[in-house]
Amino acid sequence: MLRNNSFTGIQPLLRLSNLQVLNLDGNAILDISALSPAAPAALPLPLLSQLSVDGSRLKVASLPRLGSLSYLQASHNCLAAADVPASATEVYWGGQRALVSGVCPPYAP
């Protein structure tokens, strides 16, 4: 768990290839697309089954190639939709905020 920090990116975490659960709630994550690159063979976290980015600053959640993902908590971001694999049977993305001048503002509970 790396909750309630000020992380804006996930790049340093992509080397943890055996990671199965990643909780980044309460950060300022701007982009998670690196978790689902265009080439499926290049998946940095192929075993990732649970991802939580509640209260971040995401505008897009596109994770279609994360075939092990079963749980996604992406509430309190600025998402219009979440593109997730069929394996993600538990997807939570309520409480989305509006963009301000094209930017997702920080979450304030």
Tell me the pLDDT of the chain (109 aa) as tens digits. Answer: 788 788 899 999 999 999 999 999 999 999 999 999 988 778 999 999 999 999 999 999 999 999 999 999 999 999 988 899 999 999 999 999 999 999 999 998 8
Non-local (6+) Cβ contacts of 11 within 8 A are 34
pLDDT score, position 39: 83
Question: What is the pLDDT, as a whole number, of residue 73?
Answer: 97
Q: Where are the domains of the chain?
A: 1-97
Predicted local distance difference test score (pLDDT) of residue 40: 72
Report residue 80: phi and psi, to 5°.
-95, -25
Would you say 62 and 36 are in contact if contact means Cβ atoms under 8 Å apart?
Answer: yes
